[in-house]
Amino acid sequence: MLCWRKGTKLEKSIRNELISLLINNYDQFISGEEISRRVGCSRAAIWKHIEELRHEGYEIEARPRSGYRLIYRPDRIAPEEILPYLHTDRFGREMRYEPTTPSTQVIAHQWAREGAPEGALVIAEEQKQGRGRLGRTWHSPPQTGIWMSLILRPPIPLTDASHLTLLASVGVREGMYRVTGLPIRIKWPNDLLIDGKKVCGILTELRGEQDRVHYVILGIGINVNADVNQWPDDIKDVATSLAKEKGTKIHRPPLVAAILEELEQIYDRYLREGFSFIREKWEETAGMLSQTITARTTQGSVTGVAMRLNEQGALLIRTATGITPVYSAEVEWDAGGNRS
């Protein structure tokens, strides 16, 4: 049997369809003939791809008359692992995968300048020079987390850019919640916590002019399968991982897919309806409302009760002298009062 689509179909696409088929029939035999028919390629070509996958760490049993059976796949967040789970229109439809990289943000900025489409994603197994807010370093060890940067091109003025940080907090939280069911709460403006401990950080960077944003890079870092027991005590006090909280290892590709789906949905709704519904969703899951907090800004500290967000996404704090909007700050409060 010859490959009827040969020459018109990209090798990469054949490979992705093959992996998708094997994953969807995980631990079950599927005949070489059926694979060949569904992927649209010769059995010899299928065999070649199977050999390649084995070389990359996939364990695939081959049995005469039964066919192939996927019994183990390596723990990777490569596009072919994510795509079988991904039901989005634009988000993650173009992907750059890096086994190791200095920083997904840096690659995404460059790609955006070169014209990357909206939804383009840079994802890495490991970052050597990961960055957090305000240029802080962000620890991104190999294969234990999700380190990714999503490129957006929202048609909004610069003054609305802070909406996107909050939008991202809500969307990423929903994707993580859908997969894990864990009680994740938002710390303004851009951290996700479980029981007061950081499990995810979001960094929103952009380039623009007053009238419009040219592009936004949402940098998302999630501690997924990190072995928290090996962390030093002072880190254990302030950070955790999804696996530690869930009590089981979490397969990363469906989590990436769920986050991209939730982000795309909430983003499209934001472009149609504006900021109000994000504010409501944010207020439902924020871990600090009605609490007494201290916000440290470059102009000094404000202590008071966190009330809600205003239309620009600033946090309104009620102090003895009135209500103060805070646009950018380090926020501290008694996370113990926040356990759920």
Q: Is the dihedral of CA 161, 167, 173, 176 positive or negative?
A: negative
- Give whichever of 207 and 249 is closer to a copy of itself, judged by the CB atom: 207
Tokens 């610069």 — which residue? 158
Tell how strand 212-223 and strand 145-152 pair up.
antiparallel
Instruction: Output DSSP code: residue 59.
Output: E
CB of 67 to a copy of itself, least distance (A): 51
Query: Please, what is the minimum distance in Å from the beta carbon of residue 133 to a copy of itself?
Result: 6
The answer to whether residue 117 forms part of the interface with a copy of itself (CB under 8 A) is: no
E-only strand ranges, the chain: 59-63, 67-72, 95-98, 121-124, 145-152, 184-187, 191-194, 197-209, 212-223, 292-297, 300-309, 315-319, 322-326, 330-333
198 is in an annotated binding site: yes
| 114 lies in the binding site for a copy of itself (CB under 8 A) | no
Residue 296 is assigned to a ligand binding site:
no
| 211: contact with a copy of itself by CB under 8 A | yes
Q: Which residue has the tokens 């209500």?
A: 323
Q: How far is the CB of 269 from a copy of itself (least distance, A)?
A: 17
DSSP 15-41: HHHHHHHHHHTTTS-B-HHHHHHHHTS
The angle formed by the CA atoms of residues 205, 208 and 211, to the nearest 5 degrees, is 135
Q: Which is nearer to a copy of itself, 95 or 161 (CB)?
A: 161
Alpha carbon distance 232, 122 (integer Å): 30
Query: Which span (14-22, 42-50, 87-95, 211-219) binds a copy of itself, by CB under 8 A?
Result: 211-219
312 sits near a copy of itself (criterion: CB under 8 A): yes
Cβ atoms of residues 220 and 146 within 8 Å: yes
Three-state DSSP class for residue 262: helix
- Of the listed pieces 89-97, 155-163, 260-268, 302-310, which binds a copy of itself according to CB under 8 A? 155-163
In the complex, the smallest distance separating the C-beta of residue 207 from a copy of itself, rounded to whole angstroms, is: 5
Of 137, 140, 161, 278, nearest in space to 216 by CA: 161
Q: Does 314 bind a copy of itself (CB under 8 A)?
A: yes
Q: Please say which residue, 301 or 312, places its beta carbon nearer to a copy of itself.
A: 312
187 binds a copy of itself (CB under 8 A): no
Binding-residue pattern over the window 282 to 301 for a copy of itself, x denoting contact by CB under 8 A: ----------------x---
DSSP assignment letter at 314: P
Interface stretch with a copy of itself, choices 5-13, 96-104, 151-159, 288-296 (CB under 8 A): 151-159
Binding to a copy of itself by residue 133, rule CB under 8 A? Answer: yes
165: which residues sit within 8 A by CB, 6+ positions away? 189, 190, 202, 204, 313
Determine whether the annotation assigns residue 133 to a binding site.
yes
Q: For the CB of residue 159, give the shortest distance to a copy of itself in the complex, in Å.
A: 4
Q: What is the dihedral of CA 6, 90, 139, 128, to 10 degrees?
A: 40
The residue from 79, 119, 175, 189 that contacts a copy of itself (CB under 8 A) is 189
Of 76 and 131, nearer to a copy of itself (C-beta) is 131
Nearest CB to a copy of itself, comparing residues 38 and 212: 212
Enumerate binding residues for a copy of itself (CB under 8 A). 133-134, 155, 157-162, 165, 189-190, 203-212, 214, 298, 312, 314, 327-328
Residue stretches of the annotated binding site: 127, 131-133, 198
- Binding residues for biotin are 127, 131-133, 198
